[in-house]
Structure 1
């Protein structure tokens, strides 16, 4: 295929294989980042973890993931996306093996850290490939396909994960994930064989490039309008990361007495509508002719859902519908990325988006790491199925999320519109 055809992104067989393998890659990442939420009570019981230890364990994935974003961008420029992805998958496989065999808190924590390092390129590297393969007017569509399609991995972290863990044990799930990772490695190796060379010479000074990338972020931070969109970016993932990725399983177990499979089935509604919402919100800017309006709508409705969780015990029979609504209206993250791209001048787009992605993932780490301390303010009731926390403990966490959503809404309210004029 010629360079011109690559730029135009013709729908050839090789293009379909490429996009398909990139989607499988990102599904791995979204599955692994949410893979502990449903099985959290079982992991806590087996290792004797309290809420603080569990929250830190889950958050280590996002800590290493966030810290790797800027170095990964530099390495992709120097060595090319294909080499970085293949190496990253191998790192992820090591992390899965450590997590699957770990018998202590430290071993599982190391496994999560290594998995986060391995998955840190699974979104940005495919986007770098798409930037070469597709024309600029198709690039935003490819972002939506990559992010929305990758959310299927999040769905597998709910009911399918719960069913597999109940049948084979949660450790076997991670061995199965490693086996699937080997298949994805082979798919990437074949489908990216003809991708263009790295945009930066391999003789480049990597430490110097890394230093310039970090120092260049100061210019992005100082730009007018950066702070409001940064605040909104941090809270876009708060509810999903806390509920689906960590405390949803323990909350359903402790408050509603749900066992593993039922927890997975209940959280599945949140995941399905969250994935659907990623597509719908991503297209909503065309209807509103605005990024700002749908972002304000999504964040305000999400706030109302979180307020309901804070002050009431949602009836069991409406929980799936309620969680589905929260997933749908809270999935406006692609709009925030699109707003960010419109906010930054062309020469700052790459650094700006990298910083936004780092902020988003870093926000997940902070949410997950800190909420365990809040829940541990209450003394758990010890039961044969592990420690159980009262409703007030979880409502404190939901209240914190609601407060953050309100703050971000008010902060972003005065943000200027950057939607491109026709």
Structure 2
């Protein structure tokens, strides 16, 4: 790996790490802000999910901006919104202001994942992308670890508002490093007019190849992140009867397992492709194992809790291989928009699933802030059913991915 490639990997991974911390920080904050503001499960689900709504809503313009101005500039600039958002969130004394802060955070980190994948695609050969994408996801997964036991420990001596202030400073540091140190990515700056690039996004959305590759992954990723960033903690406390520290430890195990899974599946994908196993098929197997793991958790399989939740983390991130699948079927000039369009759909589903779980739980009365096991099982059963339906679409025979997608050349901008 060259020094330029190393800088690309480290700096854009740092951006995604920040994004991931923001994604799951309410997992640790939940008992505190619920107590402070008297929130119901539905309120908490809506508040937390606004991150994903802001993230999703910014994806289409983010993809266009990434392809027009480059990953370095766009990521550094948008992270400023995330810093402002966490400061608003931490200073808020009403649900409405907290919602505004959470929405700003989502907008601010909306390009971090797509920018990382785009920068990697421009600096690494295609055969290495599954592994490099997996490594970026692993660094992000470290953010998932940090919102488990480490955050619980910090909250024993620092208030959640102080943690918000510190996260804002960290975000500014990462933004500054990206702006000053990250290399300029080639063949992105002002390559085409913004209007032409929006047409490219429409081309992606009309593509059968895009929807075929995305079908199973968007649903499994939506479920994984909706649960990991909020509701797994409630499941562990309400259904498994764990104390907050025990639940936080399992959340950290899940995060570490996701890191290992992202790296392991990325490396295995490249190795298996050399033996004739397609990336598409390998990704599908990993996602199917994720669904199986959820069923084992739901039905209380007689296995150690740490093992089950580690499996949840290992297999939960396999759908991310779809980014590498799609990178091989669309022209290079569409890479940013393909990535952000896929991310848009995933995060819209996370938003919907997170609100939906909260709404289902709220159909049952809470006792001392806890919901009955039947409520959690009902919510998760719906999510599993949706994943099974998407899996059927994924495995149905089709010709959409038989050959690469072609696009007429985009005209350079006069600007």
Assess same fold via TM > 0.5: yes
CA positional deviation for 1:72: 1.5
Report the CA distance shift for 1:347/1:197 in structure 2 as closer, same or farther (over 3 A). closer
CA positional deviation for 1:116: 0.7
Map 1:144-163 onto structure 2 (within 5 A): 144-163=134-153
Which residue is 2:63 aligned to? 73
Which residue is 2:231 aligned to? 247
Is residue 406 from structure 1 mapped to residue 388 from structure 2 by the alignment? yes
Q: Gaps spanning 5+ residues in structure 1: where?
A: 1-9
Q: For each residue in 1:20-57, what CA deviation from the matched residue of structure 2 results, as whole angstroms up to 9, or x when unmatched?
A: 22221110001111111233233212211111111111
Report the CA distance shift for 1:320/1:69 in structure 2 as closer, same or farther (over 3 A). same
Report the CA distance shift for 1:248/1:38 in structure 2 as closer, same or farther (over 3 A). farther
Q: For each residue in 1:321-366, what CA deviation from the matched residue of structure 2 results, as whole angstroms up to 9, or x when unmatched?
A: 2111111122212322222234446675554333212111222111
Query: How does the TM-score come out when normalised to structure 1?
Result: 0.85
Which residue is 2:38 aligned to? 48
Among 297, 320, 324, the alignment partner of 1:338 is 324
Q: Is the 8 A contact 2:49 2:351 kept in 1?
A: yes
Is residue 358 from structure 1 mapped to residue 344 from structure 2 by the alignment? yes
Is residue 296 from structure 1 mapped to residue 284 from structure 2 by the alignment? yes
Alignment: residue pair count: 399
CA positional deviation for 1:63: 0.7
CA positional deviation for 1:391: 0.6
C-alpha separation between the residues in 2 aligned to 1:224 and 1:74? 21
C-alpha separation between the residues in 1 aligned to 2:336 and 2:112? 17
Q: Is the 8 A contact 1:342 1:419 kept in 2?
A: no
C-alpha separation between the residues in 1 aligned to 2:272 and 2:389? 26
Is residue 389 from structure 1 mapped to residue 371 from structure 2 by the alignment? yes
C-alpha separation between the residues in 2 aligned to 1:232 and 1:110? 32
Report the CA distance shift for 1:319/1:96 in structure 2 as closer, same or farther (over 3 A). same
Q: Is the 8 A contact 2:8 2:119 kept in 1?
A: no
Among 265, 269, 275, the alignment partner of 2:249 is 265
Is residue 129 from structure 1 mapped to residue 119 from structure 2 by the alignment? yes
Which residue is 1:372 aligned to? 358
Among 232, 235, 250, the alignment partner of 2:219 is 235
CA positional deviation for 1:318: 2.3
Q: CA RMSD in A?
A: 2.8
Q: Is the 8 A contact 1:97 1:175 kept in 2?
A: yes
Map 1:303-314 onto structure 2 (within 5 A): 303-310=291-298, 312-313=299-300
Map 1:83-232 onto structure 2 (within 5 A): 83-192=73-182, 195=184, 199-201=188-190, 209=194, 211-232=195-216
Report the CA distance shift for 1:347/1:76 in structure 2 as closer, same or farther (over 3 A). closer
Is residue 16 from structure 1 mapped to residue 16 from structure 2 by the alignment? no
Report the CA distance shift for 1:80/1:178 in structure 2 as closer, same or farther (over 3 A). same
C-alpha separation between the residues in 2 aligned to 1:338 and 1:416? 19
Report the CA distance shift for 1:62/1:18 in structure 2 as closer, same or farther (over 3 A). same
Q: For each residue in 1:194-226, what CA deviation from the matched residue of structure 2 results, as whole angstroms up to 9, or x when unmatched?
A: 525773439x76xxx2x5444444433443344
Report the CA distance shift for 1:224/1:240 in structure 2 as closer, same or farther (over 3 A). closer
Among 280, 296, 318, the alignment partner of 2:264 is 280
Q: Is the 8 A contact 1:67 1:358 kept in 2?
A: yes
SS of equivalent residue, structure 1 residue 337: helix
Report the CA distance shift for 1:17/1:238 in structure 2 as closer, same or farther (over 3 A). closer
CA positional deviation for 1:230: 2.7
Question: Is 218-227 or 92-101 further displaced after alignment?
Answer: 218-227
Question: Is 321-330 or 220-229 further displaced after alignment?
Answer: 220-229
